[in-house]
Amino acid sequence: MGIFGNKKSGAHQWRGVIEEYRHRLPVNANTPIVSLREGGTPLIYACNLSELLGNNVWIKYEGLNQRVHLKIAE
C-alpha cells in the first residue's frame, strides 16, 4: 500500500491500433501483429449513420489529436 492508500489505475496506456481495436478487426490470437504504437485518434460511434446504413459506423475524430507547434526564434 502506498502513501495515498490503494492505487487506482491511471490513464489508459495506448497499445497501438491493432491491439486497441482487435475486437473490431478480423484478427485472432494467432495473427502476427507489428506495431509502432501508432494511432491513438479516438473513434466515435455515429448513431445516425449506423441506423441509416444498418451497421455499426465509427468515425475517427482527428480534432482530438494532440498537435505540437514549434516556433523557431529568430
Dump pLDDT digits (tens) for 13-67: 777 778 888 888 888 888 888 777 677 777 789 999 999 999 999 888 777 666 5
How many separate domains does the chain show?
Answer: 1
Give the residue, 39 or 69, on which the prediction is more confident: 39
**Cα–Cα distance list, 4 to 1, 8, 23, 59, 72 (Å):** 8, 10, 35, 39, 42
Domain span including residue 31: 17-64
The amino acid at residue 45 is Y
pLDDT given at position 28: 86
Residue 11 lies in a domain: no
Higher confidence at residue 21 or residue 68? 21
Helix runs in 1-74, H state only: 17-20, 47-53
In the predicted structure, residue 7 carries a pLDDT above the cut 70: no
Please determine, for residue 12, whether its predicted confidence score (pLDDT) is greater than 80. Answer: no
Q: Is 45 inside a domain boundary?
A: yes
65 neighbors 42 (Cβ within 8 angstroms): no
